[in-house]
Amino acid sequence: MESPQPIDAIPARFRQPKPWLRWGLVVLAVLGWWLSLQLLLAASNLHAQSALLDTLCGRPGAPGGWDCRSVLASHWGSIPLSTEEGGLALPVTALGMAYFAFVALWYLFVGPPTRDRRVYHLIVAAVVLAGVLTSLDFIRIMAFELHRWCLGCLAVHATNGALLLGALAAWPWRKPAQPSPPHPTGRLALATLTAGVLIGLLHLTIVFIAGTGGQMRRLSDAYLKIADDPEYVVWNYKRQPAAEIPLRADEPLLGSPTAANLVVVFSDFQCPQCRKAHELLDELVRSHPDQLRVAFRHFPQDPACNPHPEFSGGGHPAACQAARAYEAAFAVGGAQAALAMQRVLFERQSDLERDRFADWAVELGLDRAAFAQALESPAVAERIADDVTLGNRLGVAAVPALYLNGRRLDRWSRPTTWDALLAAEHSP
């Protein structure tokens, strides 16, 4: 009688039972994970349209009741995490991804057991059995509750059924013809179990964070929709206290001096948002010539001329010098020269350097020497300081800060908002 072959003499590739079955189950679990991911993306509207996705999920309202998105959007498609309507919910497809990730990890590192270690196989077998029972319940829901079908969901459930058959095939029903090393070790089984649970929790955490972020974006969008609504802007504007913002006798005004409504804007030549405000106000003055005039006030985010605590650590290092260039142009060439310099400063915002200001003044027809002298004038610095003092008194902390007829205006970026504001100002 032939003696059993020593365990050490068995080639390594034969030491782990049923390697072909092991890799087949890994592929099945990865397929289930991928299908669950596609369903999650489809339910979240995060996936671009594709022929494969349309085949798996169908199109909304498709004939025959084949529509994944309707199935996934039902209350059976997610697990609510709060009792509030519209609150956070965990998609069932995310649980499917966590489940398949655990099964794939188990079969990748553990696989089928030897007969003497078959008790460890009960772990993955129990998980797969629970998954199959859940699949059967979801099939029942589609058939008898929703009366709609999801081909992608059925593909996931079929993959789950194949995993159960694979788990049964992986059970060591017969004694091996030859001895083999015990597999898996307790340490390997415990490590894989722990890693699988952590991988599953990681999936759920990522989906939860993504869902929280999506809900925050929806709330933010809803808030912005309300905040930008012209009726809300008018209501909020009218409840602001009126502040006294005096005009200088020689004020450079954008628009007609006799226009009915005055906008005072505290601005900074180095601020991109201030440039947008300037461009919008210029368009509004052109489209509402008899209704709107604009006065400019300096509030540079630069500690060199603005002692506001917010800017003590720095901000826009060229803003104070740019403000001087504006005031120097006004001192040399009057209101029109100041408005022309204002336009140039905003247009060339990325090139604001002290050495360039005199060249730009010459381009505008100003005398270089007179401009250079005005640039260092105490009167120029005083006008900027007066504007900064006024802005601090009004509570300006960020620019641009717009005041329409003395009232602070928080939402100003939409032309339709201005139509409503100007109509409200003329209403009795």
Residue type present at position 218: R
Whether the full predicted model's pTM is greater than 0.75, yes or no, is no
Q: What's the CA gap between 302 and 294, in Å, rounded?
A: 23
Each residue of 210-255: pLDDT tens digit?
777 666 676 677 777 877 788 888 899 999 999 989 898 888 999 9
Last residue of a domain, one of 162, 193, 227: 227
Residue 236, in any domain of the structure: no
Q: What's the CA gap between 254 and 343, in Å, rounded?
A: 11
The domain that holds 410 is classified in CATH as 3.40.30.10
Look up the domain containing 126 and give its range.
Answer: 10-227
pLDDT at 10: 46
Each residue of 117-133: pLDDT tens digit?
999 999 999 999 999 99
Find where tokens 């782990």 sit: 16
Q: What's the CA gap between 427 and 261, in Å, rounded?
A: 13
Residue type present at position 226: I
Residues 104 and 79 in one domain: yes
pLDDT band at 2 (very low <50, low <70, confident <90, very high): very low
Let me know: does 330 contact 337? Beta carbons within 8 Å.
yes
73-87, 188-202, 228-242, 413-427: which has the minimum mean pLDDT?
73-87
pLDDT at 354 over 90: no
Each residue of 260-306: pLDDT tens digit?
999 999 999 999 999 999 999 999 999 998 899 999 999 999 888 98
Please say whether the dihedral angle defined by the alpha carbons of residues 146, 149, 152 and 153, taken in this order, is positive or negative: positive
Q: What's the CA gap between 199 and 204, in Å, rounded?
A: 9
Helix (H, G, I), strand (E, B) or coil at 254: strand
Let me know: does 60 contact 70? Beta carbons within 8 Å.
yes
Residue 4, in any domain of the structure: no
The pLDDT of 367-380, averaged and rounded, is 94
pLDDT at 14 over 70: no
Q: How many domains would you assign to the chain?
A: 2
Residue 237, in any domain of the structure: no
Helices 354-363 + 368-375 axis angle, to 10: 140
Q: Which token pair is 349?
A: 């915002």
Residues 276 and 183 in one domain: no
Residues 247 and 211 in one domain: no
Q: What's the CA gap between 126 and 330, in Å, rounded?
A: 83
Residue 159, in any domain of the structure: yes
The pLDDT of 82-87, averaged and rounded, is 67
Residues 276 and 358 in one domain: yes
